[in-house]
Amino acid sequence: MTTDSLSLFAIPLAILYLVALACIYRILLSYRTAQGAIAWIIALIGLPYLAVPLFLFFGRSRFGGYVKARRMGDRALTSLLDQFEQQTTSISNPGHEHFSDELQVLCKLSRQPFTSGNHCTLLRDGEATFEALFEAMEDASHYILMEFYIVRSDRIGQLIKAILERKLAQGVQVWFLYDDIGSVMLSRRWLRELSAAGAHVASFGKGNVRRRRFQINFRNHRKLLVCDGRVGFVGGINLGDEYLGTVIDQEPWRDTHCRVEGPAATGLQLAWLEDWHWASNIRPELDWHPNNIDHGDQQVLVLATGPADTWETCTLFFLNSINNARTRIWIASPYFVPDFQIMNALQLAALRGVDVRILIPEKSDSQLIRLAAYSYLVQASQAGIGIYRYQRGFMHQKVVLVDDRYAAVSTANLDNRSMRLNFEISIINTSPDFIGSVDIMLKDDLKHCQRMTESDYQDRSILFRLSCRAVRLLAPML
């Protein structure tokens, strides 16, 4: 090999290692977990030609630029938040009889207040949810705001588009935001026709490409709808036929959504506006006067979490709930791959006598996550944590019940992606009536669950157990 050929080989290699060192520098300044940082550093040193491109696209832990666009870069958005916090319906004063240090933490995490004068309706399946969504959209007279992780151009998708096109013809404005990764199978024709009818359509990923480069590992996992700033919806249900159990050769999906009336709908609208402004740099004129309803007596907080936040807000929400549980904490999640913080908190809760129950599906849309969940059975069983596998189809709901003090309907799963990589949103309700409805729903679900034991893992083959433990190593990426 000649000197010239050696130089041609050495120069690219040197550049590659310089880029790898730059990546390591960034990791050391911003890592969130030591395990993840060490894994990346070893890979960047040992296999830079593979690790460098992977890190550039998948290694970032913060969603750069969003905070500036949301808070510092747009005074109008900050002004709207200040206006919302000062509404007379707010009960975020620590001296309020319904307020506690625990709820104060949630307000600080969400950057929104708890509000009174709300009414939430629990929607226990896809049929009830779509019926309520369709009714709210048909009743809209000014605007419809939509944001969904998955949108399909199947029967439900076509019904949604038909309603939106009809409302557009009536002069109602439609603002439609979707995640381009979650909705990768959505027909381009569907989007073109909706845009042609006059809707404002944006993709969370393809919009604002300059600021989003090298951030494709992040997802907007939120599912919400707001009509006229007066009624809103949030929960686990996307726009697709699978939630009706009508897809051939597919297990029925069990999911939960929530209808919100009152000032909390304004909180949902604010969360939507932040995402829309990021994706499009446009701030539509909306109604910001909270809607006080006669039959509203519920205290509700909108908790939007994501990788652009100062703290790991989703992780802190779960830790706050688990650590403050006194008698019970029940969590329903389709994906159970907790990190050591969450698992330790669950163990401590069970050891101090709290009734800890985790509802997960027996049949999953991810075999890797299903395997990983088995690896936690020994730790869970020894501490007294009950892990229940739902037997009637794929359970996709995300619900948290803490004592008889509050309940949350959410888009967030109990996994690393929701904790650190996804934009999520939850409704937290302290009303006894709402808590009671969630309690009844989860008790009904538990009737169709089988409690897992340590032997369900220990009595399996060594190959199965090794597979579970090996997949668990991938937890930060699942």
Catalytically annotated residues: 221, 223, 228, 396, 398, 403
What SS3 string covers 61-126?
Answer: CCCCCHHHHHHHCCHHHHHHHHHHHCCCCECCCCCCCCCCHHHHHHHHHHCCCCEEEEEEEEECCH
Token pair, residue 421, equals 């990589």
Burial of 102 (0-12, 13-18, 19+ CB in 10 A): middle
Q: What is the enclosing helix (H) or strand (E) of 263?
A: none
The Cα–Cα gap between 220 and 234 comes to 14
C-alpha span between 134 and 257 (Å, rounded): 14
Q: Is 164 left (phi over 0), alpha (psi -120 to 50) or beta?
A: alpha
Residues contacting residue 443 through CB under 8 Å, at least 6 positions apart: none
Residues contacting 165, CB < 8 A, separation 6+: 193, 194, 197
Q: Each residue of 19-48: b (16+ CB within 10 Å) or e?
A: bbeebbeebeeebebeebbebbbebbeeeb
Say which residues have a Cβ less than 8 Å from residue 288's Cβ, sequence separation at least 6: 80, 83, 84, 229, 266, 269
CA–CA dist 43, 472 (Å, integer): 19
**Residue where the block lists tokens 């249900």:** 237
Write out the two tokens for 41: 């550093």
Residue 114 one-letter amino acid: F
Q: What is the DSSP string of 167-221?
A: HHHTT-EEEEEE-TTTTTTS-HHHHHHHHHTT-EEEETTTTTHHHHTT-TT-EE-
CB-side neighbour CA atoms (13 Å) of 351: 11
Single-letter residue type at 127:
E
For 243, how many CA atoms within 13 A lie in the half-sphere containing its CB?
27
